[in-house]
Every structure is written in structure tokens, then in C-alpha cells.
Amino acid sequence: MSDALLGQAQDGKTILPGASLGVMGGGQLGRMFVHAAQAMGYHTVVLDPDAQGPAGQASDAQIVAAYDDAQGLADLTQRVAAITTEFENVPAQAFEALSQNTRVAPPAAAIAIAQDRVAEKQHFQRHGVPVAPFAVVDSADSLQQVAADLFPGILKTSRLGYDGKGQVQVANLQELQQAWESLKQVPCVLEKRMELDFEVSVVLARGLDGSVVNLPVQRNIHHNGILATTLVLPGAIDADVQEQAVHVAKSIAAATHYVGVLCVEFFVLKNGQVIANEMAPRPHNSGHYSIDACDVSQFELQVRTLAGLPLLQPRLHSPAIMLNILGDLWFKDGQATAVAPDWAAALAHPGVHLHLYGKHEARKGRKMGHITITGPNAEAALGNALKVAGLLGLPQDFSHILA
């Protein structure tokens, strides 16, 4: 396919609207990338093994193939000008192979780091990023050498753990050994449990030219390891915490020569110190509010970084709260049959924006959508968010944030 048909500019950097952009992965993040790309005039091609995935439903075209299928990857490179990913567990080797013939963002090396907690922690340490004390547990000998001051701690699988999966809390060496055996003795990281005050995240975008912009710093609340609520409200996070988090996130992006959208999650300790938890080389649940509350969403930033378009600092035009919607809402009060929540009642409140991901079956723990509540000020957004959360049976443990 010629550069003209692909929309490739003569300088080799800017991919113009009218071109086709590819995305590895067919989940909700891919779906929202597709929506943003199409709104800007691009065509999209999704590669995913699930023919019924949310992104494939919305995309102009879909290639149904495994992420490491050679023919599928070759087909994708022939049909698009550049390729991104919607999740970090796409095989890094496949992404590296794609990069030999097509622009990719983020770089495969950053994906490889994010896929492995050991590599991620060591990468952070090498670049002076503060992290919780940790030890690698990958053998019986390493387990016995764990320092006593790392307890109590959390044992996490090095690979494929997310949303609280692959994590076990341990109080001593005996519990550590039992936990490691329960995790099939795969390589793990033991992290010391810290005295946390709250959690925040930074979503940034870094361009081909090294320019960096970021969304406002988000304050997050998790339940059972899954993000439940994100708050972007004036007064919700001290300025020095925001500055620390943004500075560290930008340094992580620079260290990997990153191009694309990157999220870095942080713990804020009781003493005010900000330490990095993990990074995600893609848009993030905690940045979903930007679709409704910012003039440039994280998904438009993903399109801009991939296409080599100018990056503009996003502006928060409305205070916002994002409520994550899990499949549990379809099974309230122990009912066995799925019953859709009362969306009409929720949408009767001002500033409510409903986003459902097009998943065909509700299951407990499955991310089905989110609701963003915006308002003219922080108090109005918070008040309506509490009403919607109470109506749907979602956690209301964010009522104290502005108190």
C-alpha cells in the first residue's frame, strides 16, 4: 500500500486523518480508542482473537487472530499506517516484530517492562524512582533469604497479575511459603506493606519529538484490587503530591524513550512521600473521566501520539468523579439471574455520563462500563456522585474527600 493511501506525510512523522490505525486488543480500551480515532477522521483495524469483543464491534475492520499469529500480524501491518495496543499483555515479541515494518507506540521494550513486575521494579530502581521495599521470590533459596523487615507484605506474581489477581497478603515467612506454593511457585515479588494515606495516578502522553503532556492527577479508591472510584476535584490532592507524581511519571517515560499514553500508579504514604506502584503502557481506567471532563481525552492523546500530531496540555473543564461498573451490579441481593441496573434513574441526575462497553454477558468482577459525574464545582459533582452511587448500590466511601 502506498504512503499516500496510508496517509503518511512526506516527513515520515505525521499520519493524517483518512489513514488507518491499528490496535492490538479488542477490549473496552480499544473500543474507546476506536471511537476517538474515528471522530478525528481515521479508519481503524482491530486485531483480537475474540470476534465479539467491544473494540471489534466499533471498528471499521477486525482481524480475528491470536496476538502472535504471524499471518494476522502481517495482515495488520499491510492495512494500517501505525499500531498501538490497548493492554500490556500483548506479547512484547509480537509488538517488536510489528515495529520492524510499521510505526508502533508504545515501544515494545516498555511493554516488556510493564509485563514483568521484577523487571518493572528493577527498572524503577535503576532510574531513581522511589518504590516500596521488595524482594524477588523465584526459588526456595530466595524465599529463605527474605528479610524479616519486609513483613507484613504482599506477594505478587511477576507476570499476568492484575485487578487484585495473583496477589496474597502475608505476615511472616511461613505464610510467604504457603502463598508462594498457592501461586504455583512462579516468579513473584514480595512488597512490604506501607502505611498508605491514599492512591493517585498520572496519565501522560509523550510524543515522537519528546514533548510531554499530562491529565490532571487522579485520586483513586480500590476495592479488592479493582479500581472503584476516581476523583478529579480541586482540593482532593495536595499540590506537592501532584508535583511529585507528575515529575516521577515524566522521568519514567523519558527513561524508556516512551511514545504513547502511559499511566503510572502511585501510593501516597502517611508521611507525604509518593512512591511508584506500577505502570501501564496504555490508557487507564483512572483516565476515563477525561472523555467527559477534559477538552482532550486520554484516547485522543493516544491517537495524537500514534499519528505524530501536536500534543496539547489537557484542560479540566469540569470537576469529575468516575464510578467503575462491574458485573456484580447485575446480581444485586444475591439474585441468580442478571438484571440490568436502573440506568434511567441514574441518568436523571445532572452531569451523569453513562459508558457501557458492549459486553454481551455480565459476570461478577467483570468491567462492564463506567459512569462519570461532572459538575460546575467540586461539591456539586461530589453530591450527585453520592446520589448515583447510592441509587446503584456502588461504594460511597469517597464522601469524606473534600471534608
Q: Is 387 within any annotated ligand binding site?
A: no
Q: E-assigned strands of 249-366? A: 260-269, 274-280, 320-326, 352-356
Burial of 369 (0-12, 13-18, 19+ CB in 10 A): buried
Of the candidates 193, 169, 179, 195, the residue with the CA atom closest to the CA atom of residue 137: 179
Q: Is 199 within any annotated ligand binding site?
A: yes
Q: How far apart are CA 62 and CA 122, in angstroms?
A: 37
Q: Is 156 within any annotated ligand binding site?
A: yes
Q: Is 270 within any annotated ligand binding site?
A: no
Write the DSSP symbol of residue 314: -
Q: How far apart are CA 70 and CA 355, in angstroms?
A: 34
Burial of 189 (0-12, 13-18, 19+ CB in 10 A): buried
SS3 374: strand
Q: Is 396 within any annotated ligand binding site?
A: no
Q: Is 165 within any annotated ligand binding site?
A: yes
Q: Is 369 within any annotated ligand binding site?
A: no
Q: Is 278 within any annotated ligand binding site?
A: yes
Q: Is 18 within any annotated ligand binding site?
A: no
Give, to the nearest 10 degrees, the angle between helix 28-39 and helix 298-307.
70
Kindly report the length of the chain: 403
Q: Is 161 within any annotated ligand binding site?
A: yes
Residues 6+ apart with CB under 8 A from 146: 135, 137, 173, 176, 190
Q: Is 35 within any annotated ligand binding site?
A: no
Binding-site residue numbers are 117, 156, 161-167, 199, 222, 277-278
Binding-site residue numbers for ATP are 117, 156, 161-167, 199, 222, 277-278
